[in-house]
Amino acid sequence: MVIPGPIPDYADLCRPAQASRAGWVAPKPLASPASARRPGAGRATGDEQSSSPVGFSFRRRSLLSCVAALSLCSCAPDDIGSGSAMTAPDDLAVGQAITRAAETPDRDRRPPDPFWWSGYGDPQLDHLVALLDRQAPGMALAAARLRRAEAMNTAAGAVLEPAATLSATTAEERFPNHSVYSPAYAGKGGSEGRIAVDVRYHLDFWGKRAETAAAAGARVAAARAEAEDARLLLRTGLVEAYLRLDAAIRLRDIAVSGLVRREGLVDLLVIRTSAGLSTDLDAVASREAVTETRDGIVRLEAEIATCRHRIAALLGLDPAFADTLSRPALRSPMGDPLPLSSLPASLLGRRPDVAVRRAEVEAAAHEIGVARAGFYPDVDLLAFAGPASLGLAHLLRSGSVAAGVGPAVTLPVFDGGLLRSGLAGRMADFDAAVAAYDEVIATALRQIADGVVELRAWQARKTEAVTAFDHWSRAVALTEARERQGLSAAGDRLSAETALLLSRRRVVEAETGAAIARVGLIRALGGAFASRVIDGAHDIGEMKE
């Protein structure tokens, strides 16, 4: 059995594999007599190593390799572009409805109150809105999307910083005969170990990582605006359902009062028919009115239950919660939320959905920059340091320390059109984002104009309904006075009271319509959301170039 000699250091890997097994004698370095007399003679200093022909040749080859890589890289094509440009809000005409509403004299010019629903003075409504903000599924979904966008933004920003990893490897292996190993290892078995700290820093010459981080930041802004939009939609939806619940209960009370009076009229007609003072035709018509009133009460009861269930669903609660809701107590009407200005930039700048689309355009523009930078090479600066050896017994010796630093260049040469198709896709995404932005600002202005017109229409209907109610109130009072004087029958009074209830119903319907129109206009105006003025929206079109 042949006992091998001691295992040499890791530096033996650099020795020629064709050396004889008897041993390999390193040639003595050329040294001047002066250097030979110095301590450590025969070992070049750092300056001498850097100025040696071998070191200079190595650096020159590395530099030439980088230059060759840069010369071989493809360039971003100029034939792939986008003709889309965002519509400047100031180029849009808001129309007469918005202009007249914004120029209304003697009106409050302050932005909407963030707690605008508190103007109704209903503690239960305030509690429901607070509950909505805490536990509504729609709010939780929007918050989760925002957290995801923020995490992606953090990850995108992390690539701009240096990265360091610590690794440790060990293995028992057989070294091949025909490789770089010295005769002391070739064909034999042994161990190998390495402990190293690897550092990588990306040199963002072409702005690829910066554009990626900017796109992620724009996505965060879009997610934040989406959360605000979800909050606005849920709040206005809850308040609208609450207003409908209040209206259904009030209309049911009116219908119940009308049912009592119509049943009294039927009883009176039965008595008159028995006395020969009336015919059955009058009683049949009155009984039909009673049947219609009862049918209306049933429909209103169903609408009340539906509104309660809708409120519970918006809160993410079961229908049993709907049964716990008390009757609404809306003590004071809310003021009209008219536009603060007739300038499109001021109107649209308060809508969160417009902010979402604008942020998406910004993100798409930055992603075009990422795609363009993909045509150029990635340059990384790599460095490592740590002990490495053949034979674990030598791993922690001072002579086993290895270190290195240098660039790493990765460049596209032939990709079968992958980069061009990726750039074309990003251009298409930008066009789609611009189209979505143009669509949302057109829709926003239409919704504001429609909201103003609808609110004015309901206010006009309410004025007419209140006028009719006042007329029937005087008619009922006159009929009661005539009845006390014996100049009118009870049937005339019951008929007048029924007409008064119908006019009262029209007042409630008009009041509810106006209240819901106010909520819709708050939604169209963006509520209390405050975004930046978007008068420079056309600048985004320049980012795709």
Q: Per residue in 334-354, pLDDT tens?
A: 666 766 565 666 677 778 999
pLDDT at 70: 53
Low-confidence ranges of the chain (pLDDT < 70): 1-79, 81-112, 272, 275-283, 285, 332-336, 338-346, 483, 486, 488-491, 493, 528-545
The token pair at 337 is 């939320």
d(CA 304, CA 248): 6
- pTM summary value: 0.72
pLDDT at 177: 82
pLDDT at 303: 94
The token pair at 448 is 């504001």
413: phi then psi, degrees, rounded to nearest 5: -120, -65
pLDDT at 113: 75
Angle at CA of residue 527, ends 522 and 530, nearest 5°: 145
| pLDDT digit string, tens, across residues 499-531 | 888 889 999 999 999 999 989 988 988 886 554
Question: In the Cβ-directed half-sphere of 383, how many Cα atoms lie within 13 Å?
Answer: 9
Length of the chain: 545
Which long-range contacts does 312-318 make (Cβ < 8 Å, 24+ apart)?
Answer: 314/132, 314/136, 314/138, 314/234, 314/237, 314/238, 314/241, 315/128, 315/131, 315/132, 315/135, 315/136, 315/238, 316/135, 316/136, 316/137, 316/140
Statement: 89-159+207-376+415-544 belongs to CATH 1.20.1600.10: yes
